[in-house]
Amino acid sequence: MPSYKAPIDDIRFVLEDVLGVERVSMLPGYEDATPDLLTQVLEELAKFAENELQPLNRSGDEEGCTFENGVVRTPKGFKAAYDRYREAGWTAVSADPDYGGQGLPQVVNFVMSEILSSANMSFGMYPGLSHGAYEALHQHGSDDLKALYLPRLVDGTWSGTMCLTEPHCGTDLGLIRTKAMPQDDGSFAITGTKIFISAGEHDLTENIVHLVLAKLPDAPAGTRGISLFVVPKFLARHDGTPGPRNGVACGSIEHKMGIKASATCVMNFDGARGWLVGRPHGGMRAMFTMMNAARLGVAMQGLGIGEVAYQNAVQYAKDRLQGRSLTGAKVPEKAADPIIVHPDVRKNLLWIRALNEGSRALGYWLGMQIDTALKHPDPTARQEADDFVALMTPIAKSFFTDYGFEAAVKAQQLYGGHGYIREWGMEQFVRDARIAQIYEGANAIQALDLVGRKLPMHMGRLLRRFFHPLGAELEAAMEDPATAEMAGQLAKAYGRLQQATAWVAQKGMGNPDEAGAASADYLRLFALVAVGWMWMRMAKAAAAKLPTANGNAAFYDAKLKTAAFFYARILPETSSLFAAIMSGAKPMMAMTADQF
């Protein structure tokens, strides 16, 4: 059976020593969110995840969700665990106090997403989607809609979904056919079918609030004609309690490769009553609030799987006796050495660890930037932070989930044949991780978003939010003995990123296929530079702590050694990525379709 222990020491190192999370408590409205308080909150969440959720992960996978006569039931233990999760206030952590929330910073959500995904990714889907629905309604809903729905989403008695995809279209939402017909009472009759709706139907909450994309009768073609509607499973009575059943029903659930305890539903809307969120034909702007929150949540799923896979693979590598060290027996009194003596085993473990820790720092930094964008009194600072998050969202979603799946596969490989056997748990991590590369915009779509939208946006303003501070930090790091060597290596990778950016911009203007052909490699190149930036910061923080660390010296020494591995073994990938980008579109576009 796999195990999980929330890496609280690593989390605190990133938040407190590397990112300076105490700055968040200086923002208006976050004054009480001191590092000590955040630590207490996260330690309690860790206990809940380890004791309540992780033990349900394997059983939930084996039992899965069941569907009968339109009713979806989650696996044994999920309802009771969700009730305890809700009663403990976890659904309200970062929500607006005006609607019953605790008002903690958004960065806490990022840590929670990681821990929940490590402990039980399927369980984490339910409250995660509800929070996305909360965000969309909080930013775009009318006062009446917010008064009705937000308190119940915040306290977790109601849950939320987002209904985008239809059977004939996936990412191309301009093709949707779901209709919204205006009614005399100001509501709309919603009719259509949505597929792949996570948590579309289940038994955890007393009501489910669907946010549905649909088109009004006068809608222009394409995405400009999409509107957003809130469609509850049960219509609310005057006192806000669930009343009559609305015209929405689950037609079936998908039989999936992974996250089997998360219900993925086909949802049929048959004249269901819904209410407009935001402006008519302005649904994409409102839905992107939810989608971007979901994309960052999915990014943290990749990290969460990488972390739990690493923890279990390390323990196995220390326990499993097989073969002898190439330099002579390390445990001569035993029949064989533990496999952790072998260089290739160590390489795989360090690869996972280096990307876990680097991605954790980048993910938490994004969370802090969201807090800055929401709360900073200076509008310029808010805009800069918002730009940075917009730029990094497709990078984090794609890279974290790509490497998270690779991490699960590498960890599984260390088990040999046991990694293929269910009882060891590694094959579930592989299966669960795979979906994160697909949903909330497949990773190739994220890469196209980066090169096609984010790079040229506002005449390159978003890029400057990354390039300028990194350039400044590199100059300072060159003068610091603790980081000078790393800074030199990162500066070369940064130079490749700058050259690749100019090449993609120039070639893409003349032939969009050039930008498309470069997009995935460009995103990974960008991500490695970003993670390298985080490792430079972590190395600086660890080096500063090490001289006075006393009994904790091994912790900081391990940070420095992991940083050295990243720079020696992972960052050099930027060279091959750069070469691939510069080869252009011709090698992949030369063949005709008939030649495939």
* Shared domain check, 76 and 187: no
Provide the pLDDT for residue 286. 82
Structure tokens at 122: 């399927």
- Give, in degrees to the nearest 5, the angle at Cα 303 between 300 and 308: 125
pLDDT single digits (tens) 530-582? 999 999 999 999 999 999 998 899 999 999 999 999 999 999 999 999 999 99
Provide the pLDDT for residue 236. 95
What is the mean pLDDT of the segment spanning 513-523?
97
Nearest by Cα to 124 from 85, 72, 165: 85
Distance CA 566, CA 559 (A): 11
* Shared domain check, 230 and 112: no
Query: Tokens 């949505």 map to which residue?
Result: 194
Provide the pLDDT for residue 87. 97
pLDDT single digits (tens) 340-378? 999 999 999 999 999 999 999 999 999 999 999 999 999
For 68, the enclosing helix (H) or strand (E) is strand 66-68
pTM of the model: 0.96
3-state SS record for 242-270 = EEEECCEEEEEECCCCCCCCCCEEEEEEE
Are the C-beta atoms of 78 and 60 separated by less than 8 Å?
A: yes
CATH number at residue 114: 1.10.540.10
* Shared domain check, 115 and 190: no
Q: Which residues pair with 277 in a beta bridge?
A: 228
Beta strands in 183-241 (DSSP E): 188-198, 207-214, 227-232, 234-236
Look at the chain and count its residues.
Answer: 596
Provide the pLDDT for residue 71. 94
For residue 566, the 8-state DSSP code is I
What is the mean pLDDT of the segment spanning 25-53?
97
What is the band of 287 on the pLDDT scale with cuts at 50, 70, 90? confident
Domain boundary among 85, 118, 143: 143
CATH number at residue 174: 2.40.110.20
Under 8 Å CB-to-CB from 403, ≥6 apart: which residues? 302, 306, 355, 359
Provide the pLDDT for residue 133. 94
Q: Give how far Cα 235 sits from Cα of 239, 242, 272, 407, Å.
A: 11, 6, 10, 44
* Shared domain check, 135 and 164: no
* Shared domain check, 172 and 132: no
Report the chain's mean pLDDT, rounded to a whole number.
Answer: 96
What is the band of 475 on the pLDDT scale with cuts at 50, 70, 90? very high
Residue ranges making up the domain that contains 79: 21-143
Tell me if 450 is assigned to some domain: yes
Tell me if 426 is assigned to some domain: no
The percent of residues in the chain predicted with pLDDT above 90, rounded, is 94
Q: Give how far Cα 253 sits from Cα of 194, 263, 266, 271, 436, Å.
A: 12, 6, 6, 21, 18
Distance CA 562, CA 545 (A): 16
Annotated catalytic residues are 440
Provide the pLDDT for residue 509. 86
* Shared domain check, 49 and 102: yes
Residue 106: pLDDT over 90:
yes
Residue 170: pLDDT over 80:
no
* Shared domain check, 166 and 139: no
Tell me if 533 is assigned to some domain: yes
What is the mean pLDDT of the segment spanning 152-172?
93
* Shared domain check, 167 and 97: no
pLDDT single digits (tens) 247-285? 999 999 999 999 999 999 999 999 999 999 999 998 888
Phi and psi torsions of 546, nearest 5°: -60, -45
Query: Tokens 């006569």 map to which residue?
Result: 69
What is the band of 173 on the pLDDT scale with cuts at 50, 70, 90? confident
Residue 312: pLDDT over 80:
yes
Tell me if 153 is assigned to some domain: no
Provide the pLDDT for residue 169. 86
Number of domains in the chain: 3
Provide the pLDDT for residue 171. 78
